Amino acid sequence: MGSWKTWASASAVVAAVAGWALGATAQQPPIKVGVLHSLSGTMAISETTLKDTVLMMVDDINKKGGLLGRKVEAVVVDPASNWPLFAEKARELIQKEKVDVVFGCWTSVSRKSVLPVFEELNGLLFYPVQYEGEESSRNIFYTGAAPNQQAIPAVEYLMSKEGGEVKRWVLAGTDYVYPRTTNKILEAFLLAKGVAKEDIMINYTPFGHADWQTIVADIKKFASAGKKTAVVSTINGDANVPFYKELANAGIKASDIPVVAFSVGEEELAGIDTRNLVGHLAAWNYFQSVKAPVNDAFIKQWKTFIKNDKRVTNDPMEATYIGFKMWTQAVQQAGTTNIDAVRQALYGQRVAAPSGFEAVMNTNHHLSKPVLIGEIQGNGQFEIVWQTKGPVKADAWSKYIPESAKLTADWTYPWVCGNCEKPKYSQ
């Protein structure tokens, strides 16, 4: 056994080394998280709250000691609902700000704008909104719903006896890639189900469209043929406010012509007088009204962070929450923020989601998650009227589009294929 002096001297060296290590950790640069959401323009009504959600998650992880012993820092930019500007801001985040990951985009046109940038620079984007599918990128993880997790189940519900046995369909959307591609899939699905082409009406309007009088009159006329009619809405952004207002002005009630929306959630309803919307529907993978302890905790965390009991939660917020949790788990598992290492570590990540189900990241860069249909209530919340028994695995490519049905999305290493034909196995 050594002397007390020898032990003390050794202890001093250990303490000095530990102190140096702590100092080095404290001096390490932060892990940067990019936030790419519109804080102004027509999409600010939907996207601002997603920026706040990322800030909440960054605040939460820093309170727990950060990530890999480093502070996490959010770098927020405003692409202002300007689709080309999204690409510029994405490049700025990756090249200038040196972010390790980006959470952002809402519209598919904004995602399409940034996709080449992320692929060129090998960046990592988490996209948290329902979309049309028909895409597969090794640099994007899609945490919102694919059509088979929202649009198709919603139409199947309306076709059922429980949903009113709808026979005529109005596919109304904003004029850009998400509504057009989703409606292409829905039209093919409806025709495959035996719906006559004359029983399908398709209409598109520009972003921010305000004058709905003529279109709503056309919908009312289309519904007067004596067959139960519904509107499937892919209308995005602030155009929803005058759309629902005009429905009420025309005396159209949910019992007459129900509207099922894919882009209207609690946040959008917070800015609308919902008295005339009661009974209309929305299809998502999450509603604030979900009864589950994990959702209670999510809502409490949000209201505490935002310091406003009136602020609501919604589906894209949950998708952001899931994506952030999975990314942090993957970084911890990989022991680095290196994009290629984190990408591999993301496959198979699981998160107890506020929906009450476990979300799983698949090798097609999409989640398995439940499908819920909610009915608008007078208080701006949704009563869940139907849901799947469990999580549904997303399809990146739709089986209802012939050219897509033969494609596969699987980024499993070393098998890497985002848009090639499905491999043919010998029997």
Render pLDDT for 312-335 as a digit per residue (tens, 0 to 9).
999 999 999 999 999 999 999 999
Structural domain includes residue 418: no
Give the strand order in the sheet containing 367-369. Answer: 350-352, 358-361, 367-369, 392-393
With 90 as the cut, is the pLDDT of residue 14 above it? Answer: no
- Give the single-character DSSP code of 259: E
pLDDT band at 339 (very low <50, low <70, confident <90, very high): very high
Of 107, 52, 55, 100, the closest CA to residue 85 belongs to 107
Own/partner contacts of 59-62, CB < 8 Å, gap of 24 or more, are 59/305, 60/301, 60/305, 61/328
Residue 320 backbone dihedrals phi, psi, to 5 degrees:
-65, -45
Q: Which tens digits make up the pLDDT trace of 154-202?
A: 999 999 999 999 999 999 999 999 999 999 999 999 999 999 999 999 9
Number of domains in the chain: 1
pLDDT band at 12 (very low <50, low <70, confident <90, very high): very low
User: What gap in Å lies between CA 247 and CA 257, rounded to an integer?
Assistant: 10
User: What gap in Å lies between CA 319 and CA 412, rounded to an integer?
Assistant: 22
With 70 as the cut, is the pLDDT of residue 219 above it? Answer: yes
- Mean pLDDT for the stretch of residues 227-243: 93
Q: Which tens digits make up the pLDDT trace of 34-57?
A: 999 999 999 998 999 999 999 999
Contact of 342 with 326, CB cutoff 8 Å:
no
Angle at 282 between CA 280 and CA 285, to 5 degrees: 155
Q: Give the CA-trace dihedral at 319, 322, 328, 331, to 10 degrees.
A: -80
Contact of 169 with 225, CB cutoff 8 Å:
no
Structural domain includes residue 364: yes
Of 228, 234, 222, the closest CA to residue 172 belongs to 234
Q: Return the half-sphere exposure (C-beta side, CA atoms, 13 A cut-off) of residue 43.
A: 26
Structural domain includes residue 48: yes
Pairing of strands 168-174, 125-127: unpaired
Q: What is the pLDDT of residue 23?
A: 45
Contact of 145 with 398, CB cutoff 8 Å:
no
Structural domain includes residue 91: yes
Structural domain includes residue 100: yes
**Per mean pLDDT, which range of 93-97, 125-129, 417-421 is the poorest?**
417-421
- pTM for the predicted model, two decimal places: 0.88
Contact of 328 with 101, CB cutoff 8 Å:
no
Of 241, 256, 253, 257, the closest CA to residue 278 belongs to 253
Query: Which string of DSSP letters, residue by residue, matches 186-236?
Result: HHHHHHHTT--GGGEEEEEE-TT----HHHHHHHHHHGGGSS-EEEEEE--
What is the domain extent for residue 102? 31-145+293-302+314-369
User: What gap in Å lies between CA 373 and CA 152, rounded to an integer?
Assistant: 12
Helix (H, G, I), strand (E, B) or coil at 379: coil
Tokens representing 318 are: 């949950």
Structural domain includes residue 190: no
With 80 as the cut, is the pLDDT of residue 239 above it? Answer: yes
Of 233, 277, 231, the closest CA to residue 257 belongs to 231
Q: What is the pLDDT of residue 188?
A: 96
- CA-derived radius of gyration, the chain: 24
Contact of 268 with 235, CB cutoff 8 Å:
no
Burial pattern 233-249, b for ≥16 Cβ within 10 A else e, equals bbbbbbbbbbbbbbbee
Q: What is the pLDDT of residue 200?
A: 98
Angle at 140 between CA 139 and CA 143, to 5 degrees: 155
pLDDT band at 418 (very low <50, low <70, confident <90, very high): confident
Amino acid letter for position 89: K
To the nearest 10 degrees (0 to 180), the angle between helices 293-306 and 315-334 is 100
**Could you tell me what percent of the chain has a pLDDT over 90?**
85
Structural domain includes residue 123: yes
Q: Which tens digits make up the pLDDT trace of 281-299?
A: 999 999 999 999 999 999 9
Structural domain includes residue 134: yes
Of 314, 376, 261, 304, the closest CA to residue 45 belongs to 314
- Mean pLDDT for the stretch of residues 216-239: 95
Q: What is the mean pLDDT of the chain?
A: 92
Q: Which tens digits make up the pLDDT trace of 244-279?
A: 999 999 999 999 999 999 989 998 888 778 887 899
Q: Which tens digits make up the pLDDT trace of 360-414?
A: 999 999 999 999 999 999 999 999 999 999 999 999 999 999 999 999 999 987 7
What is the CATH classification number for the domain harbouring 108? 3.40.50.2300
Q: What is the pLDDT of residue 423?
A: 62
Own/partner contacts of 195-201, CB < 8 Å, gap of 24 or more, are 195/167, 195/169, 199/167, 199/168, 199/169, 199/227, 200/168, 200/169, 200/171, 201/168, 201/169, 201/170, 201/171
Of 247, 245, 242, the closest CA to residue 258 belongs to 247
With 70 as the cut, is the pLDDT of residue 7 above it? Answer: no
- Of residues 21 and 340, more confidence is placed in 340
